[in-house]
Amino acid sequence: MALTRREFLKNSAASAAAAAIGVSLFANQSVFASETVWHKSVCRYCGVGCGVMLGVEGGKPVAVKGDTKNTINKGLLCVKGFYLHKVITGKDRLLKPLIRKNDKLVEASWDEAMELVAAKFKESIEANGPDSVAFYGSGQAETEETYVANKLFKGHIGTNNMEGNPRLCMASAVGGYLTTFGADEPVGSYDDLDHAEMFFLIGSNTAESHPVLYDRLVARKKANPSTKIVAIDPRKTPTNKIIDLHLQVKPGYDLAVMHAIAKVLIEEGYTDEKFISDSVNFSNGKEPITYEEYKTFLKKFTPEYASEQAGIPAEDIVKAAKLFGQTSRVVSMWTMGVNQRIAGVWLNNLIHNLHLLTGKLGKPGSDSLSLTGQPNACGGVREGGGLCHLLPAHRKVAKEAHRQQIADIWNVPVTNIQPKPGKHTMAMFDAISKGEIKNLYVMCTNPAHSLPNLNKYLQGMKDCFMVVAESFHPTETSKIADVVLPAAFWGEKEGVYGCTERRSQYMPKALKPQGEARWDADILIDLAKRLGHGKNFEHFKSAEDIWNEYLKCTKGKDMDLTGAPYSRLKEVRGLRWPVPSVDHPGTTHRFVEGDPLFPKDKAEGRRMYFYGKPDGKAVIFARPDKGPAEPVDAEYPIAMMTGRVLEHFHTSTMTGQVPQLVRAVPKPYVEVHPDDAKKIGLTDRGMAKVITRRGELELMVKLSDRPLPGNVFLPWHWPEKLSNLLTNDVFDPGSKEPEYKVCACKVEKA
Amino acid sequence: MKNKRSFYLTLNRLRVLSQITTILFLIAVPLLNIVGVHWILGTLYSISFGKLDIADPAIVAQTILLTWNLYIPLLIAALIPILIAFICGRVFCSWICPHNTISEWITAFQKRFMTKRWRQYQKKSKNVGIRVYFGILATLLLVTALFKTPLVSYLSPPGVISSQISQLIRGSGIGLELAIVLLIFIAEFFLFQRYWCKLLCPVGAMLGAFHWKGKLRVQFQAAECKCGKRPSPCQMACPLQLEPKKKNLYPACFNCGLCAKACENTGHKAIQLTF
Amino acid sequence: MIQSLTSIFSKITKSKTYLRPPGAVPEDEFISRCIKCSKCAQVCSYNSIKILHLNAGKDFGTPVIEAKDIPCYLCMECPRICPSGALDNALVDKEKVRMGLAVIDESKCLPFLGVICRSCYDECPIHRVAIVLEDELLPRIDAETCTGCGICESVCPAEEIAITIKPLSQLADKRK
């Protein structure tokens, strides 16, 4: 049987892969005979949104293969997705609720656990007000789950202390899109990857973090060998394999480089002056400025100045700028290297600047495309409004009209929704440490592993009453929880994920949940009932009921999903909003003709009209230059960077369930440049102590020329060695996203 | 110095100390290796201190026979043991070899708890003829060469024991080869005879091959033999069941000096360990 | 007579082919030369080198590497300390090591099933040379530069390990 399956996979998926990369592999087809039922779904891991088929046999998950009909991955998968079925039945699946008794987690009945949670929440809300409780959700939860949590906490309990881990991941991108274009999420889509002639990667290890997209770049380069790829990254990553020019900047010093590129673009005449006068305003962040004032601002940012700042040759900056200017179609892509920075929003703005200056936006092959790290950070949390200042469908709590619209849909008095934003993630965990927030509900995420500077926040999490709804136990967070609720995992629940390119895709329930695990939305509805808010949740009999209510929220908004009911999503490979009616095909480019929301009358012949802004003009920002919050100094002379590897995802609660993936990268390590190792006396696979102002870790050394001398790199996946004991919890004042990516450390021989 | 009454007693104490130190050393080497000390390496097949290699001559002989090739560093490594054997005889066996150490402990047990049978067998002590002795070694080496099989490696109890200690400490467990050594112990326990060290061991035999009149040896002076005990204390003391007072003591004798100590104990000095 | 006896004996004791430490001379000569002193195992900081027990057959006492458990990380400590020349004392460059050759079973290897996986490629110590990616996806072994260290085998995340090391002894006729 196993052999047949492999044969089948070999012939279906590999030929798809071959098609994707433009080679032909297998000519002969073998016959597939099996009882396997295949369910069309979406990958559980990163934000690429690959279509997968989950194979079920006799009620058990047996295989996962790429969905050849999905245009995102065309049947290709990465190694994590390929083993998804093994995660469902992983060894650490939590099967029964756990309650802390005498400082030990013991099994309990659902009723007992839920009664305890409800009693604790009720007690705290009555004694200390609704802001004494908080919810911390996830970009990996379904849109439906986040929606129910949002409705319960913001609309019924009445607290805006409702956050999600995309704060630690995408908040700066949100800030960038909102400030520049007046509307969150990308202008273009993945379709642009197949037309671009240059890719500009900034702080993105695409090859490991978004492997399928990397393969699309490879395919594009193969189809069109003149395609150029330029990367700005402090580390040589596996992505380097396909790049033509690498600006290996000092960690945290790339803002000046972006300005210098803008300066060269203007000076060399690569700007699209008509586009600028039609669709662009200028600002210094406080007030509007003129184009001329912007040019004056740029005077300081010569390639030489940027070169000095970033430690790269000035010629390379000019070369990159010229490539950007000369190439007619450019897609910029970035991830955490840009977002997880104290100047995250600014750096996002500066990337958009280049596209606005050259008009390389809103047409096939040109986009400023932020890649997402989680499968539903865009769908559930950004669009669903799962952050402390948001309401569903790109609404803000601070806006009276927005509160009113949502209160009507939720069937609550508008006074239930507080107008003041709640506590963002870092403030929330700070308040937990200070005892201001006494009850925390954590869903589908692992903050005791993923928050920066953990030493500061762990005690607070232990002290507060923490409920963790999670499919796996133990995780760093479930270990210190007071109640752990077994949540149904991917494949055991239906729902919608929205990926990087505004595409919402449906996932079916193909399996019964393991043990007594329950769907997260079901648990939240149960909690709502026990807290006395049952009336407005009773009509949620299925995921579809929740989705339909959510669609009402999106009607008429920039992210209109009205045309994407379950009945349609089940058939298609996702839809890209705005999709205002069931006969609308979805939108590949926003703010241009073809976008159903494009106001032709207002645009008056302008190619792009940014309808999120009152005058339809996007903004080019003259942001000051800013280095990392914690530069290296004599005491802590080495810059520490963090990141991911291909085989593991985030806190490895999922990938840690798959022995094959653990085998591939079994141990935490620190990448050190051989020159530094020599100086410090470190040997390959020996031990080193990495020390920052916040903590220290003993790690295995991996000698590598990937980081520059003076830098080290730590992947953050392993619970036994938490890199976040070392990271800096200072955050971007705009997006409140912490600077995980760079801090100062010293390295010693252990 | 030889006239000092307790000379052989002291010598024997030093010998026992050396035996115990050897065992501790064999445990210490792999432990040191694990913590990263690599200037000292090896087992009793071959051991090295920094750049200084020392190898068992029997193994070196086997390697030559198997490869028909003279690997100079290996030949040099055999020089120190050969030199010692040339001057002092088979003191490796009596002072270092853990197999002999354990055998001596077994004999001590028999002497204490199975006294009657032990005395019975010990009285039957007999020397081995030189032809028999080297005949066995020659046969072993011939088989090794003909069958291209490293027989000496299998049949080197000090090598097996020391490498087993190393393997065990490095976490690889113990293997079937230890059974060879155990089999020898068991057989000898029931036979009350130390045939292995006396006759069969290729390691000892190879060291015994550097046999000449001028080296350190047990020397019997009949004129001094006055204790008059029967059976004679020197014979009863010999761990290999040899007769120190007779000829043909070599090459089987490994110069442990226990016969001289027994003689010294009676107040005489008929048996001396001298050059 | 003797010859036929020899052949019968060697048939009885016929051994598997093992992956030997770096610098090992050809298998037949290696078996003859190795004096079973365990030094190479003792000097190995990674515990990659294990000494065969008698249970494994007639090659007991000789060093082997089980690449799928702990491969050779090519620290090059062992060849120089071998007292008998069973490992080439003069070998110091890891690039020159030829312990065996990695072989990919394409029916098991994930990229050949349409799955992006680069574990072997990323970990290969002769980075980007001994293993190359055809179309940035399919791993191919470069027989000229592969050292046979087995790191690829140790990290392969395929359901059944898809990249294995064929020891030098099996390849005697295929490469020098």
Q: Which residues of chain A from 20 to 59 reach within 8 Å of chain C, CB to CB?
A: 21-23, 25
The pLDDT of residue A520 is above 60: yes
Q: Where are the domains of chain A?
A: 5-88, 98-168+376-538, 171-370, 638-749
**Does the annotation count A169 as an active-site position?**
yes
Reported ipTM: the value is 0.90
Hey, is the C-beta of A69 within 8 angstroms of any chain C C-beta? Answer: no
Yes or no, beta carbons of B63 and C32 under 8 Å apart: yes
Q: How far is A604 from chain C (nearest CA, A)?
A: 46
Average pLDDT in the A6-24 region?
A: 48
> Which of B148, B178, B183 is the best residue to mutate to test the C interface, defined by the most C CB atoms within 10 Å of its own CB?
B148
**pLDDT at residue B265, rounded to an integer:** 86
- Would you say residue C35 lies in a domain? yes
Does an H or E element contain B40, and which?
strand B40-42
| A258 Cβ contact list (under 8 Å, min separation 6) | A202, A347, A350, A351, A353, A354
CATH architecture of A98-168+376-538: 3-Layer(aba) Sandwich (3.40)
Report d(CA A304, CA A257) in Å as an integer: 10
What ranges make up the beta strands (E) of A185-311? 198-202, 228-232, 245-247, 280-283, 288-289
Residue in A568, A570, A574, A572 with CA at minimum distance from that of residue A510: A570
**Mean pLDDT over all residues of chain B?**
90
Count of alpha carbons within 13 Å of C40, Cβ hemisphere only? 33
Contact list in B for residue C85 (CB cut-off 8 A) is 71, 73-74
Q: Which residues of C touch B (CB under 8 A)?
A: 2, 5-6, 9-10, 13, 29, 31-33, 35-39, 41-43, 45, 47, 50-56, 58, 60-61, 77, 81, 83-85, 89
Count of alpha carbons within 13 Å of A91, Cβ hemisphere only? 6
CA distances from A82 to A30, A445, A574, B36 (A): 21, 22, 20, 41
Contact list in A for residue C113 (CB cut-off 8 A) is 6, 9-10, 13-14, 17, 82
Contact list in B for residue C9 (CB cut-off 8 A) is 147, 149
H helices of A151-187, where? 171-181
- Would you say residue C176 lies in a domain? no
Candidate CATH numbers 2.40.40.20, 3.40.50.300, 3.90.1150.10, 2.30.40.10; the one for domain A638-749: 2.40.40.20
Does an H or E element contain A670, and which?
strand A669-672
Chains in contact with chain A (at least 3 beta-carbon pairs closer than 8 A): C
| A732 Cβ contact list (under 8 Å, min separation 6) | A171, A172, A175, A341, A342, A343, A344, A345, A738, A739
The strand pair at A288-289 and A280-283 is best described as antiparallel
Largest CA distance in chain B: 58
The partner residue sitting opposite A78, judged by closest CB among C73, C75, C116, is C116
Count of alpha carbons within 13 Å of B227, Cβ hemisphere only? 18
- Would you say residue C45 lies in a domain? yes
Greater confidence (C174 vs A410) lies with: A410
- Would you say residue C97 lies in a domain? yes
Burial of residue A527, with CB atoms counted within 10 A of its CB: 0-12 exposed, 13-18 middle, 19 or more buried: buried
Report d(CA B245, CA A390) in Å as an integer: 106
**pLDDT at residue A5, rounded to an integer:** 43
pLDDT tens per residue, range A85-128: 999 999 999 999 999 999 999 999 999 999 999 999 999 999 99
The partner residue sitting opposite A215, judged by closest CB among C119, C137, C155, is C137
The partner residue sitting opposite A241, judged by closest CB among C112, C117, C136, is C136
> Which of B32, B43, B68 is the best residue to mutate to test the C interface, defined by the most C CB atoms within 10 Å of its own CB?
B43
* % of chain B beyond a pLDDT of 90: 54
Q: Which CATH superfamily is domain A171-370 in?
A: Dimethylsulfoxide Reductase, domain 2 (3.40.228.10)
**pLDDT at residue A21, rounded to an integer:** 47
DSSP conformation class of C45: T
* % of chain A beyond a pLDDT of 90: 95
> Which of A52, A77, A239, A242 is the best residue to mutate to test the C interface, defined by the most C CB atoms within 10 Å of its own CB?
A77
**pLDDT at residue A457, rounded to an integer:** 97
The predicted model scores a pTM of 0.90
Hey, is the C-beta of A4 within 8 angstroms of any chain C C-beta? Answer: no
**Confidence class for position C5, pLDDT limits 50, 70, 90:** low
Yes or no, beta carbons of C35 and B55 under 8 Å apart: yes
The partner residue sitting opposite B147, judged by closest CB among C6, C43, C54, is C6
Residue in C105, C152, C144, C101 with CA at minimum distance from that of residue C125: C152
Report d(CA A76, CA A284) in Å as an integer: 44
A171 and A390 Cβ atoms separated by less than 8 Å? no
DSSP conformation class of A106: E
Yes or no, beta carbons of A211 and C108 under 8 Å apart: no
The strand pair at A696-703 and A669-672 is best described as parallel
**Confidence class for position A1, pLDDT limits 50, 70, 90:** very low
Average pLDDT in the A284-295 region?
A: 96
**pLDDT at residue A54, rounded to an integer:** 95
pLDDT tens per residue, range A158-203: 999 999 999 999 999 999 999 999 999 999 999 999 999 999 999 9
**pLDDT at residue B175, rounded to an integer:** 87
The CATH code of the domain at A5-88 is 3.30.200.210
Chains in contact with chain C (at least 3 beta-carbon pairs closer than 8 A): A, B
The partner residue sitting opposite A23, judged by closest CB among C135, C154, C155, is C135
Q: Give the torsion sign (CA, A541, A547, A549, A550).
A: positive
- Would you say residue C175 lies in a domain? no
The pLDDT of residue C161 is above 70: yes
Query: Residue C111 corresponds to which tokens in the numbers above?
Result: 């990229």
Average pLDDT in the A382-408 region?
A: 96
> Which of C137, C153, C156, C163 is the best residue to mutate to test the A interface, defined by the most A CB atoms within 10 Å of its own CB?
C137
Residue A448's identity, in one-letter code, is: A
Chains in contact with chain B (at least 3 beta-carbon pairs closer than 8 A): C
The pLDDT of residue A27 is above 70: no
| C39 Cβ contact list (under 8 Å, min separation 6) | B41, B42, B43, B46, B48, C78, C81, C82, C83
Q: Which residues of chain A from 618 to 657 reach within 8 Å of chain C, CB to CB?
A: 646-647
**pLDDT at residue A8, rounded to an integer:** 47
The pLDDT of residue B260 is above 50: yes
Contact list in C for residue B73 (CB cut-off 8 A) is 83-85, 89
CA distances from B249 to A198, A265, B127, B128, B243 (A): 92, 100, 6, 7, 7
- In degrees, rounded to 5, the angle at the alpha carbon of residue C136 between the alpha carbons of residues A352 and A55 is 95
Contact list in B for residue C57 (CB cut-off 8 A) is none
The pLDDT of residue C173 is above 60: no
Q: How far is C19 from chain B (nearest CA, A)?
A: 17
Average pLDDT in the A55-77 region?
A: 93
CA nearest to A25 within chain C: C112
**Does the annotation count A114 as an active-site position?**
no
Contact list in B for residue C84 (CB cut-off 8 A) is 46, 55, 63, 71, 73-74
**pLDDT at residue B2, rounded to an integer:** 46
The pLDDT of residue C10 is above 60: no
Contact list in A for residue C135 (CB cut-off 8 A) is 21-23, 218, 222
Q: Choose the catalytic residue: A43, A46, A114, A170.
A: A170
pLDDT tens per residue, range B144-157: 999 888 888 889 99
**pLDDT at residue B270, rounded to an integer:** 87
Q: Coil, strand or helix: which one is A69?
A: coil
C115 and A79 Cβ atoms separated by less than 8 Å? yes
Contact list in C for residue B36 (CB cut-off 8 A) is 45
Residue by residue, DSSP assigns B189-200 as: HHHT--HIIIII
pLDDT tens per residue, range A226-273: 999 999 999 999 999 999 999 999 999 999 999 999 999 999 999 999
The order of strands in the sheet holding A104-107 is A104-107, A98-101, A483-486, A465-470, A439-443, A133-137, A162-164
> Which of A645, A684, A705, A713 is the best residue to mutate to test the C interface, defined by the most C CB atoms within 10 Å of its own CB?
A684
CA nearest to C153 within chain A: A664
Yes or no, beta carbons of B43 and C32 under 8 Å apart: no
Report d(CA A216, CA A229) in Å as an integer: 13
**Does the annotation count A80 as an active-site position?**
yes
The pLDDT of residue A26 is above 70: no
Contact list in C for residue A23 (CB cut-off 8 A) is 134-135
Residues facing residue B46 across a β-bridge? B55
**pLDDT at residue C14, rounded to an integer:** 54
Greater confidence (A25 vs A264) lies with: A264
Contact list in C for residue A73 (CB cut-off 8 A) is none
pLDDT tens per residue, range B41-80: 999 999 999 999 999 999 999 999 999 889 999 999 999 9
Contact list in B for residue C58 (CB cut-off 8 A) is 149
**pLDDT at residue A130, rounded to an integer:** 96
The pLDDT of residue A417 is above 90: yes
B69 and B76 Cβ atoms separated by less than 8 Å? no
Q: Choose the catalytic residue: A53, A258, A336, A444.
A: A336
Domain that holds residue C110: 2-170
Q: What is the domain count for chain C? A: 1
- Would you say residue C75 lies in a domain? yes
Yes or no, beta carbons of A665 and C46 under 8 Å apart: no
The pLDDT of residue A2 is above 80: no
**Mean pLDDT over all residues of chain A?**
94
Instruction: Give the lowest-confidence range in A19-28, A150-159, B196-205, B266-275.
Output: A19-28
What dihedral angle (degrees, nearest 10) is formed by the CA atoms of A463, A465, A471, A476?
Answer: 0
**Does the annotation count A594 as an active-site position?**
no
The strand pair at C115-116 and A77-78 is best described as parallel
**Confidence class for position B130, pLDDT limits 50, 70, 90:** confident
pLDDT tens per residue, range A441-486: 999 999 999 999 999 999 999 999 999 999 999 999 999 999 999 9
CA nearest to C30 within chain B: B67
Contacts of the segment A558-567: beta carbons below 8 A, 24+ positions apart: A558/A183, A558/A394, A558/A590, A558/A597, A558/A611, A558/A612, A559/A185, A559/A383, A559/A393, A559/A394, A559/A502, A560/A596, A560/A597, A561/A504, A564/A504, A566/A506
- Would you say residue C31 lies in a domain? yes
CA nearest to C157 within chain A: A660
Query: Do A5-88 and A638-749 come out as alike in CATH topology?
Result: no
Q: Which residue in this structure is represented by tokens 């089940």? A: A570
A368 and A528 Cβ atoms separated by less than 8 Å? no
**Does the annotation count A687 as an active-site position?**
no
